Homo-oligomer: A and B are copies of this chain.
Amino acid sequence: MNALFQQVRRTIRRHGLCPPGTRLLIALSGGSDSVALTLILRELAPNGGFSLAGLAHVNHRLRPTADRDEQFCRALADRFELPIVVSHLDVAAYAATERLGTEEAARRARYAFLHRCAADLNADRIATGHTRDDQAETFLLKLIRGAGLTGLGGIYPRRGALIRPLLDVSRADLREYLKARGESWMDDETNSDLTNPRNRIRHRVIPELDASYGGVVSASIARAAGLARDDGTWLYSLADRRYGELASTDAAGVTFSADELSAEPEPVRRRILLKALREVANMREVALEHVEAAADILNGTSAGADLPAARLELQRGKLVLLRKR
């Protein structure tokens, strides 16, 4: 299991996940990934310059086995003499108040809890058990949902205080490690429900890709996700800077010099337009066709366009994106 520890150490070092003195909160569901995460970080802490502040477990009581999982996590915390905080939020009520679907409400409630929990336990980073398999699944999910524009980067090794030390290791290796140590974990029975897109990707698509390739594809996919993430991060930062230099903003909307915008390279121009449309239309989801509508005006193929929340026009050498009331 030396290779497993080495890989986790490399991921931590490469992305600066645990600067010296870091106090870590671990998100523990009781599944194989987060149980392995707890064990591995416990082993790496003494020489890694970080310490464990405690464990956080979410029990939304949405699944029949939720209470069994909570008991398992409490027992693990006892054995390792770590504090554990458990959330019993009523997701249905939260979803109703916030006007969200159950899945999105559960996700937001979970992250809000983790951040509160980290503050309470005086932890500065929160580790989650996302693996290379989750990375490959997320990449494919984004791919089929057409997220090409906002990036196929998948899961980030770090997003603010959240860190994913297992992002370069496979679930199979983690389970082998747990078995070799005689450790158990809780299976989430909802993971076999094939009406859930992620489960279908995991249990049907990836095995078929493995068969096409004649090997394990999650490593290749995770690598592609990492490269796409690096490209995207830089291109967006470049577009942000150029947006600041090129855009004039007022109450009516955003204006660019058509010549200046046309002179930008396509990947940068596309991201400047994306940012402008999000600004003007206050749209969370700007689609590729909206960006292309703006590009068509710029290159003279179209005279103007009416989008759901914005009107685009060319006015005396200016591309104007007008906010609709």
Contacts and interface: CB of A to CB of B under 8 A. Distances in A.
Contact of A224 (B146, B221, B265): B146
Given A230-B267, A265-B234, A266-B234, A197 B224 contact: no
A220 B140 contact: no
B270 A230 contact: yes
Interface string A128-161: 0000000000001101111111001000000000
A149 B212 contact: no
A205 B235 CA distance: 31
Contacts of A75: none
Interface in A201-215: 201, 204-205, 208-209, 211-214
Contact of A231 (B205, B224, B225, B267): B267
4 closest A-B pairs by beta carbon, nearest first, are A148-B224, A146-B220, A200-B212, A148-B227
Interface of A: 140-141, 143-149, 152, 197, 200-201, 204-205, 208-209, 211-214, 217, 219-221, 223-228, 230-232, 234-235, 265-268, 270, 288
